């Protein structure tokens, strides 16, 4: 990462919303196609059975399963933030459908109508999977223009609490462990306790330890941190890792943004590692924010995360 002699201060990173349009388009196309297929399987069961050689009960079960699949697709399309892991699993399922269709056509004698029907649906599913995977690639490999990293993930949440209350928790560098049951300890080294140059040492309940250095600070609004990834025993699969907090007032309270910018030790694993990281963040960070906004910290739920911030 960076040598200790390098100046730790830099301008705050500008966060822009991820470009999820292509992924949403693929998911929406998939939802329309799956709806048409489910409707056909449930209403035209007998003629489809004669064309593709499956018994009506099998087609009805497949139609019901597709109806559930459509619900999952609509949930993904309507989300404010894309769910990378769900989109990845959806794409894998679509590719499985295409492969199963090819095997079925190759091993089962079908009339021309059945061939066109199975092949046409497989082609549509393959197109949806392609759009989704291209959209996922855009989100997974999102270079950070400010930091020069290959990946950036931004998570956000709107809460019914004033930004000042959240800032009190965020700026308490040594006390971050109070808000996350996954963290065993957090403390400050000697030196600055606020602003660029402050170094925080953290450990989680797994016994893993790491350090974070503040590189940018805007009182009341934002903090950027640089993880000392070159330190021996750094527990995360990154060669470079930076992150930070953003707080913005809203009509109802505040918007919280947390971001991670990083390079992976094994870049080829990014299509799996980044969605899994995003899924873990989405599962755990709402509890961290809930603890930060609890009127009485002692009564806050003992839930949290050992994810780096």
pLDDT-wise least confident of 19-33, 144-158, 167-181, 295-309: 295-309
The CATH class given to the 151-299 domain equals alpha beta
Phi-psi region of 204 (alpha: psi -120 to 50; beta: other; left: phi over 0): beta
pLDDT at 302 (0 to 100):
38
Q: How much of the chain exceeds pLDDT 70, in percent?
A: 92
CA dist 179 and 301 (Å) reads 9
pLDDT at 97 (0 to 100):
97
- Write out pLDDT tens, residues 150-209: 999 999 999 999 999 999 999 999 999 999 989 999 999 988 888 999 999 999 999 999
Residues 6+ apart with CB under 8 A from 295: none
Confidence band of 144 (pLDDT split at 50, 70, 90): confident
CA dist 183 and 76 (Å) reads 31
**Segments making up each domain of the chain, as ranges:** 21-140, 151-299
Confidence band of 90 (pLDDT split at 50, 70, 90): very high
> Above 70 in pLDDT, residue 5?
no
> Above 60 in pLDDT, residue 6?
no
> How many C-alpha atoms does 193 have within 13 Å on its Cβ side?
6
> Above 80 in pLDDT, residue 55?
yes
Closest CA to 222 of 163, 179, 305, 281: 163
> Above 90 in pLDDT, residue 2?
no
* Across 74-102, average pLDDT: 96
Phi-psi region of 197 (alpha: psi -120 to 50; beta: other; left: phi over 0): left
pLDDT-wise least confident of 77-91, 138-152, 247-261: 138-152
Specify the higher pLDDT residue, 25 or 252. Answer: 25
DSSP assignment string, 242-269: EEEEEEEE-SSSEEEEEEEEEEESSGGG
Residue 71 — φ and ψ, nearest 5°? -60, -40
* Across 204-223, average pLDDT: 95
pLDDT at 295 (0 to 100):
63
Reading the block at residue 59, the tokens are 């087609």
Average of per-residue pLDDT values in the chain: 90
């Amino acid at each position: 990462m960076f040598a200790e002699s390098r100046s730790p201060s830099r301008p705050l990173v500008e966060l822009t919303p991820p470009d999820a349009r292509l992924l949403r388009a693929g998911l929406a196309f998939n939802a329309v196609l799956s709806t048409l297929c489910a409707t056909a399987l449930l209403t035209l069961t007998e003629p489809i059975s004669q064309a593709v050689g499956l018994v009506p009960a099998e087609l009805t079960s497949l139609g019901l399963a597709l109806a559930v699949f459509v619900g999952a697709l609509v949930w993904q399309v309507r989300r404010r933030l894309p769910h990378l892991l769900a989109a990845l699993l959806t794409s894998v399922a679509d590719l499985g459908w295409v492969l199963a269709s090819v095997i079925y056509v190759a091993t089962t004698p079908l009339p021309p109508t059945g061939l066109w029907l199975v092949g046409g649906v497989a082609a549509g599913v393959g197109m949806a999977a392609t759009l989704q995977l291209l959209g996922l690639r855009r989100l997974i490999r999102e270079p950070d223009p400010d930091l020069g990293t290959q990946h950036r993930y931004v998570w956000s949440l709107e809460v019914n609490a004033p930004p000042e209350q959240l800032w009190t928790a965020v700026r308490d560098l040594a006390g971050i462990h109070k808000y996350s049951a996954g963290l065993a300890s957090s403390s400050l080294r000697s030196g600055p306790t606020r602003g660029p140059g402050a170094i925080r040492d953290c450990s989680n309940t797994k016994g893993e330890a790491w350090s974070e250095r503040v590189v940018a600070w805007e009182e009341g609004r934002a903090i950027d941190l640089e993880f000392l990834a070159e330190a021996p025993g750094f527990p995360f699969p990154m060669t470079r890792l930076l992150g930070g907090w953003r707080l913005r007032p809203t009509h109802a309270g505040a918007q919280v943004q947390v971001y991670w910018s990083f390079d992976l030790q094994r870049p080829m694993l990014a299509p799996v590692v980044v969605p899994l990281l995003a899924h873990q963040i989405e599962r755990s960070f709402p509890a961290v924010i809930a603890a930060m906004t609890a009127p009485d910290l002692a009564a806050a739920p003992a839930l949290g995360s050992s994810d780096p911030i």
